[in-house]
Amino acid sequence: MEVRARAPGKIILSGEHAVVHGSTAVAASIDLYTQVTLRIPSGADSNDGLLKINLKDMGLEFSWPIERIKEALPELGNPLSSQPQSCSQESLRSIAALVEEQNIPEAKIGLAAGISAFLWLYTSIHGYKPATAFVTSNLPLGSGLGSSAAFCVSLSAALIALTNAVSLDLGHQGWLSFADDDIELVNKWAFEGEKIIHGKPSGIDNTVSTFGNMIMFKSGKLTLIKSNMPLRMLITNTKVGRNTKALVAGVNERTLKHPDSMNAVFTAVDSISKELSTIIQSPAPDDLSVTEKEAKLEELMEMNQGLLQCMGVSHASIETVLRTTLKYKLSSKLTGAGGGGCRITGDLQRTGMLKQHAPVVILWLMVYGLTERGQVERAKALDQRVILNQMNSVLSGNVVDKVIAELESCGFQCLIAGIGGKGVEVCFDSSS
Ligand SMILES: Nc1ncnc2c1ncn2[C@@H]1O[C@H](COP(=O)(O)OP(=O)(O)OP(=O)(O)O)[C@@H](O)[C@H]1O
Ligand SMILES: C[C@@](O)(CCO)CC(=O)[O-]
Ligand SMILES: [Mg+2]
C-alpha cells in the first residue's frame, strides 16, 4: 500500500502570536509544499520489521525496530485513527528516548521535534506496523512559513488515507481532496503533531495548510475569506535562526508579567485582523477604492508590526528589512513566529538552539501593482489613464526590482509567492 500527500505552507497576514491568546488572525496558504509518501509493506514484503522516516532533501534516514517501539509505547497497541489523541507527558518522554537513540547530527537537532511528531502520529494511527515515510519539502524549515504544520498535515493525511476512517476513491488518477468530515479528522491529527513541535499552537497553521485558501481564525474556529483583491506577497528571508516554540513561550512569559498591557495589545491586533479581512472581502466598485484599500492594508500591516515589536518578537534583521522597504515607501511586517527578542535569543544561544535551527525569518509586503504581472491585473481593474500615470511612476523607479536587489545585497533571500491555493491533497496513482 502506498499513498502520497502534499500540504502547503502559509503566510500570516495579521494576528500571529495574538491568535494564541484568543485574537483573530488572517492567514493564507502559499504555493510551497511538503510532500509525504507513505509505504506500508504487505505480506512477505516485511520492510525488515522497521519503522523508517527518510528525509530525502537532507539525505537523512531514521529507523526503529517495531519491537523497540512496542516496548517504548506499549499503550498504543489498539490505534484509534478516528479519534485524535494528545500525546501524554509519559509518552512524550518515551518518544524522546526513541529519538535520542538515533543520534541526530548536532547541526540538525531541530529535527528532533518533527521526528517526535512523526512517531506519535504514526503509532497512534497505525500502531505497530512496519512502514517507510519519505518526506520532501520546498519550504524553508523554521522560517515562519508553516513548515511544521505542512509536515504534520501531509503526514496525517497520508496516514489517515490508508485507514478505514475515511472514504477515498483509491482508483482516482491524480491529486484528490478529502470529503468534509474526513478533512476535519486530518486537521485534528495534524494539530496533535503541531502540539509536539510548538508546545502551545493556536491551530491556525495546520488549519490553513489543511483547508488552503485565505482564512480568518479565532479560538479554533475558521471562516473562509473570499479575497476581492489580487494580493501578491514579496517574502524576504532574513536567514536568522529562530524557533517557534521558544518565541511563543516568550510572548506567554511577557503576558504573565504584564497581563493588562499585553491584553490591550492582543485586543488591538484582533481589531486589525477584523478590519483587514473586511477590506480584503469588500467589493471594489471604482478605481479610487482599490487604491484606498491598498493604502489601508499597508497601514494595518504597519500597525500589526508595531504591536509584534511590543510582544518582543521582532529582531534586528527584521528592522533592517523594514527600513529598506520603507525607503521605497513599501510597508512590511514579519510573518509567523518572528525572530526573537534579545532575551529569547539569549536563551536560544545558551541552549545551543540558535546554531542548530534552520536559520530563517520571513517578512512580507504587498506588491500588487508593482510587478509586471501586477500591472496587468491592475490594468484590468483600473481606468487606463490612471494606470498609465501609475505605471509610468512605478516603471521609471522599477520599485520591486530595486527593493529586491537591495534586500539581496544585505544577504537576504526574496521570493514572490502565490497565495490562497488548495489545501491538503492525496494521490494513490504513482504515475502523477
Ligand atoms: N520537512 C520536514 N521534515 C522534518 N521535520 C520538519 C519538516 N518541516 C518541519 N519540520 C519540523 O518543524 C520544525 C520547524 O517548526 P517551527 O514551527 O519552529 O517553524 P515553522 O513551522 O517553519 O515556522 P512558523 O511556525 O513560525 O510558521 C523543524 O525544526 C522540524 O522539527
Ligand atoms: C506564532 C504563531 O501565532 C504562528 C506561527 O506561524 C503560533 C501559533 O499560532 O500557533
Ligand atoms: Mg511551525
Q: Return contacts of 414-417, CB within 8 angstroms, 24+ apart.
A: 414/234, 414/235, 414/236, 414/237, 415/234, 415/235, 415/237, 416/232, 416/233, 416/234, 416/235, 416/367, 416/371, 417/11, 417/30, 417/31, 417/32, 417/232, 417/233, 417/235
Q: Which residue has the cell 518533527?
A: 114
Ligand 1, atom 22: closest residue by C-alpha: 142
pLDDT of the residue at 380: 43
Active-site residue among 57, 181, 205, 287? Answer: 205
**Domain extents in the chain:** 2-225+421-429
**What integer pLDDT is reported at residue 285 of this predicted model?**
65
Query: Quick one: pLDDT at residue 129?
Result: 94
Q: Is the distance from the beta carbon of residue 213 to the nearest atom of ligand 1 less than 6 Å?
A: no
Task: Give the residue ranges of the chain where pLDDT is below 50.
Answer: 340-397
* pTM, 2 dp: 0.89
- ipTM comes to 0.99
The whole-number pLDDT of residue 160 equals 96
23 CB within 6 A, ligand 2: no
Whether ligand 2 lies within 6 angstroms of the CB of 206 is answered as: no
Active site residue 182: no
In this prediction, residue 204 carries a pLDDT of: 98
Pick among 3.40.50.300, 2.60.40.420, 3.55.50.30, 3.30.230.10: CATH of 2-225+421-429: 3.30.230.10
Q: What is the pLDDT of residue 356?
A: 28
Give me ligand 1 centre to Cα 8, in Å. 13
